[in-house]
Chain A
């Protein structure tokens, strides 16, 4: 059971938008920055979003992060087949941590 709660899966057709939620508490998301990681099949996780809404160099603006209270959201617009992957949220946790991850969300492109 992960400290951060994510939906197990989301799906949409190519070109559409998906959103992935990450629900936490005051000890983690509520008081710290959130990161999002993309894990393509058979590969290592890759940083997608840091500090709630910042994209590292090379990450397209189709990926957008936001945070409100004790929840964070990752949005993917213009969905592509290459976006099929597992996505994880993560943050520092002053109570359960130091660092915690969500259970992961599998994105499928229909």
Chain B
């Protein structure tokens, strides 16, 4: 059974650094053709894509946030860690991690689609 579970703080103060962990079950973060991405959703608003790390360690970031984001993988713990620096109240959102699966006979970052999602974790930024 494939599952993803996000964990981390629920309340942050402005300027702090947010660190979230995505724990994976049923698949390996380093398996060929796998990626793990982060997506967030402010209350009552649309989904916003943030970052992805691929099975080979390659990473992609949202252009508007790339200076604040870092995504890494821990193959021993089978986890993906996401950090966002200098948080602000506008960063209040539910943060999801999701598995990216590469379609057959395709190479490149545009070959992945998100087939399994975690339940999400709500992070509130407030002074």
Please state if B114 and A98 are interface contacts (CB–CB under 8 Å). Answer: no
Does B48 lie at the interface of the complex (its beta carbon under 8 Å from any beta carbon of A)? yes
- A67 → chain B, closest Cβ, in Å? 14
Does B113 lie at the interface of the complex (its beta carbon under 8 Å from any beta carbon of A)? yes
- B19 → chain A, closest Cβ, in Å? 20
Task: Give the docked Cα–Cα distance between A94 and B111 (Å).
Answer: 12
Does A45 lie at the interface of the complex (its beta carbon under 8 Å from any beta carbon of B)? yes
For B116, the chain A residues whose CB sits under 8 A away are 47
Does B82 lie at the interface of the complex (its beta carbon under 8 Å from any beta carbon of A)? no
Please state if B109 and A44 are interface contacts (CB–CB under 8 Å). Answer: no
Please state if B113 and A101 are interface contacts (CB–CB under 8 Å). Answer: no
For B115, the chain A residues whose CB sits under 8 A away are 47, 50, 56
- Interface size grouping (class) on chain B: 20 to 34
Please state if A44 and B117 are interface contacts (CB–CB under 8 Å). Answer: yes
- B39 → chain A, closest Cβ, in Å? 8
Q: Which of A44, A97, A103, A104 contacts B120 (CB 8 A)?
A: A44
Q: Which of A33, A44, A56 contacts B119 (CB 8 A)?
A: A44
With CB as the reference atom, state the residue of chain A lying closest to B112: A92
Please state if B113 and A33 are interface contacts (CB–CB under 8 Å). Answer: yes
- Interface pairs A-B: 8 shortest CB-CB: A92-B110, A99-B49, A101-B47, A50-B113, A98-B60, A44-B117, A104-B46, A103-B46
What are 21 pairs between A and B in contact, CB < 8 Å? A32-B110, A35-B114, A43-B119, A44-B96, A44-B119, A44-B120, A45-B39, A45-B47, A46-B117, A51-B113, A90-B47, A90-B49, A90-B114, A94-B110, A98-B49, A98-B52, A98-B62, A98-B110, A99-B60, A100-B49, A104-B47
